Amino acid sequence: MARQFDLLVFDWDGTLLDSAGAIVGAINAACRDIGISAPSDERARHVIGLGLHAALRHAVPDLPEELYPEMVERYRHHYLSHDHELQLFDGVAELISGLATAGFRLAVATGKSRHGLQRALRLSGLGAYFHASRCADECFSKPHPQMLEELLDELAVDRMRALMIGDTTHDLQMANNAGVACLAVAYGAHPVAALDALQPLARLDNLQELSEWLWLHA
């Protein structure tokens, strides 16, 4: 079967790394540290995939401006205290290495900072497989299309030959804004109905389904 896509762009948290619970937990712990009420789990999960400052502003919108630096510091403290314990979803390492061996160009578009992504790539052992990446401290936060547009330019890939894979509406909206096809994975942060409303090529409920779809259709 002829290859449909040359470039596969993956979100990180909630798509490749099982980190949604840790992110929610770090937001809640940071709120406790500075003495404010934590957001609901639904609200905290909604911000996963956004840049850190945008995420915290949505998660705790009533936080006084002067407390944001402390909120950011406490969130980073709690998340980084445990990020070395986080695991890739089962099958991710094999999928990524297999796609790279098959000749796909692979990239990451993430709400992480550059420092955070480099640490995650090192801890996961996946760094060597990705040809390029963009982070939220280098670009506008999702769903702005800048991350995808820059990846397309850097790797000289036409937008019709690229595919975005993510677990949040922020990922899918970014792809739509960039004119890039997208896949939704439903094992991450956002509810199925919200993902389906953005009309991805497919919505995959687990890693096995994602792997099968990519090998059959990508």
Q: Which of 6, 13, 41, 205 is catalytic?
A: 13
Residue 164 three-state SS = strand
- In the annotation, is 18 catalytic? no
Cα–Cα distance for residue pair 199/173, rounded to 1 Å: 10
The answer to whether 11 is a known catalytic residue is: yes
Please pick, among 6, 11, 90, 158, the residue that the annotation labels catalytic.
11
Q: Which residues of 190-203 are buried (b: 16+ CB within 10 A; e: fewer)?
A: beeeebeebebbeb
Alpha carbons 153 and 158: distance in angstroms, whole number: 8
For residues 152 and 148, what is the distance between their CA atoms, to the nearest angstrom? 6
Among 210, 129, 128, residue whose Cα is nearest residue 167: 210
Residue whose tokens read 């409303």: 197
- Helix, coil or strand: residue 3: coil
Catalytic residues: 11, 13
